[in-house]
Chains A and B, each alone.
Chain A
Amino acid sequence: MRGDPGPGLADRRPDATPRPGAARRPGAIRRLAGLGGLLAAEWRAYRLLVRVAFREAAQYRTSLALRSLTEAVATVLDLATIGILFAHLPALAGFSLAEVAFLYGTSALAFAVAEAFVGPVDRLGWHIRDGRFDVVLIRPVGVLVQTATMAFAPQRVARVAQPAVVVVVSAVALPVQWGLDRIALASGMIVCGALIAASAFVATAAVLFVAPDATVAVSASTQGSALAARYPMTVYGHHLALLLTIVLPIGFVSWLPALYILGRPDPLGLPTFLRFASPAVALLTAGAAAFAWRAGVRRYRGTGS
């Protein structure tokens, strides 16, 4: 891990001078290409900053190992909640233990991945309150990338372990034929679910630009969405289930694709194609989150401290 530090940020940014030929392209395509280049540069900066955080943490290996272990063990409490419920019930809203475990595992895995990689954005409120945010705006890296990495906690990645195990164990326990369709959908739903969860994190964190003290409320609402995604939607009654599925896209994290995998009819009577709509929904929510974040950055005013 401790090899050469690698090229710095400045070396990795795309050239300021446009490549020959770029100037001759029509406007829309050029703008799209510019956006693509920008995204690639941001992604490189993000990877670099995350690697720095890991290398920093690796200086104290025992400490990192211990912290990762405690994070991983702490997530077991979520699983214990489901275990305790099923100690008293044969089924929850008609869903068996293996089915609820699959719903929990896939959604918890998506949320854990999002939490590990963009979770620190909810520290934005602290940065604003302590007057550390002005500096972020003048650095040549995107605000989102910086906020997501400023308080990056490598041990958070350990939270992925337990839901991943639950997904595998429950997938084996489910009484379904694991064909190519189900495997593809299951892996796709985790990727799209992580993207939807990350978008939810970013969009709610954008509230902190207006209300920098609301860190607790922001983390409570992300916890709320993780909680909502964990159980069969029918638990929440017809209207709330529709709200959670259609208006807030929480149902697309695991509920709708999982219905296909479990081979169940939709208790809410939604059209079947929605079970495969998670990628489109993920793109839409990512767009909405980007919009909310940009609106937040534009509204930002220093606290003067």
Chain B
Amino acid sequence: MRTGAHQAGYGRRDAAWPGRVAAAAPFPGGYVTAALLPEARSWWAVAAASARAQVAYRATVAASVLSNVTLTVLRGYLALAVWTARPGLAGYDSARAVTFVVLGQALTTTFAVFGGMIDVPWRVESGAIVVDLARPFGFLRWWLAREIGRAAVFGVSRAVPAGLVGAALFGVRPPGSAAAALGFAASLPLALLAGFGIRYLVALTAFWITDVRGALAVSSLALMFFSGAVLPLTIFPGTFGAVARALPFAAVVQVPMDIYLRPRGGAGIGIQLAFQAAWVAVLMAASHLATSRALRRLVVQGG
């Protein structure tokens, strides 16, 4: 089933090959469009192939929905218990606190805060990574395009159902203002890039160390804890909290939720987006550098 989905994806991608499409017809929008459109089509094709592979197993989607609903409900009740005892903690009332939990869990699953989901380590282990190197699309771009497809499927198939259950059970507040809604929408792609960058760098360690499971386990715990998926970073006390809020992990869940909820005493939307963008720039530059280093040192045994 999975193989079938992959093959279908490859077929589509061949049709959208940059060179072939560019040569096919002159575009009315001029050279820029002519250069960008095939590029966009390739991204679309890779993302769509990745998305189709993600929906191939229906039972998997069902199991994931169930576990997401469970986590949303458990964390929601915990937040209610905490904010009932201490209303106004971190500038949230209890309605805002459960909104943080329900939407935060949706972001957690969409941006794979639980770690992994980039198959590089297993492909290095098995040698299949060679195939990825031969693709005329670029290694980093390939995995990013796949990540976009995965995030789209996880968003629609896991985050939305769990979010609806959470909203029905606890109630979810709408964004504070039109600016907050726009800012939240703008922060989502940045959160995707930040989450991808962190996990991609972890996955690339497979080129240097033989057993990445330890690195994966530790990184997923750190990502969950310091992104705000377990507890809002705004209730972390003192210097520890200040450091946690400055780390790149915060760009994945905490910052979008801060923009959405606008708690009292929070930073402005512009500053929050700039924080995300700065970390995305650093992570993407690091990913680029690490990719070229990793590919230069790769030796594949056997065939």
Interface residues of A (CB under 8 A from B): 67, 70-71, 74, 77, 80-81, 84-85, 87-89, 91-93, 126, 129-130, 151, 153, 155, 207, 210-214, 216-221, 223-224, 227-228, 231, 235-237, 240, 303-305
Contacts and interface: CB of A to CB of B under 8 A. Distances in A.
B231 A207 contact: no
Interface string B46-86: 00000000001101101110111011011101100110011
B36 interface: no
Contact of B57 (A67, A212, A221): A212
A89 B64 contact: no
Interface stretch (B190-198, B217-225, B257-265): B217-225
Contact of B67 (A74, A84, A151, A220): A220
Nearest to B76: A236
A89 B222 CA distance: 24
B156 interface: no
Secondary structure of the B side of the interface? helix
Contacts of B218: 70-71, 74
A221 B60 CA distance: 13
Contacts of A237: 77
Contact of B81 (A81, A92, A216, A303): A92
Nearest to A234: B81
A214 B2 contact: no
Contacts of A81: 225, 230-231
Nearest to A219: B114
B213 interface: yes
Contacts of B59: 207, 210-211, 214
B210 to A, nearest CB: 9
Interface residues of B, number: 42
Given A71-B214, A235-B78, A217 B57 contact: no
Given A92-B82, A217-B60, A84 B71 contact: no
A228 B71 CA distance: 9
A74 B77 contact: no
Nearest to B62: A211
**In the complex, which of the residues A211, A218, A220, A304 has the most CB atoms of chain B within 10 Å of its own CB atom?**
A220
Contacts of A214: 57, 59-60, 63-64
Nearest 5 Cβ contacts at the A-B interface: A211-B59, A220-B67, A217-B63, A217-B64, A213-B60
B122 interface: yes
A221 B296 CA distance: 39
B57 A213 contact: yes
B59 to A, nearest CB: 3
Interface string B102-123: 0000000000001011000010
A224 B74 CA distance: 8
B236 A84 contact: yes
22 contacts: A80-B225, A84-B237, A87-B235, A88-B82, A89-B82, A89-B86, A92-B85, A130-B126, A151-B213, A211-B59, A213-B60, A214-B57, A214-B64, A217-B63, A217-B66, A218-B67, A219-B114, A221-B66, A224-B67, A235-B77, A236-B78, A305-B3
Contacts of B85: 89, 91-92
Contact of B89 (A88, A129, A240): A88
A239 B164 CA distance: 20
Given A84-B236, A220-B64, A304-B3, 13 more contacts: A70-B214, A84-B231, A85-B231, A87-B235, A129-B2, A211-B62, A214-B60, A216-B116, A217-B64, A223-B71, A227-B71, A231-B78, A305-B3
Contacts of B2: 129, 213, 303
Contacts of A216: 64, 114, 116-117
B214 A236 contact: no
Contacts of A304: 3
Interface string B231-257: 100011100000000000000000000
A182 B68 CA distance: 37
Contact of A155 (B214, B225, B237): B214
B63 A211 contact: yes
Contacts of B64: 214, 216-217, 220
B213 A221 contact: no
A228 B117 CA distance: 25
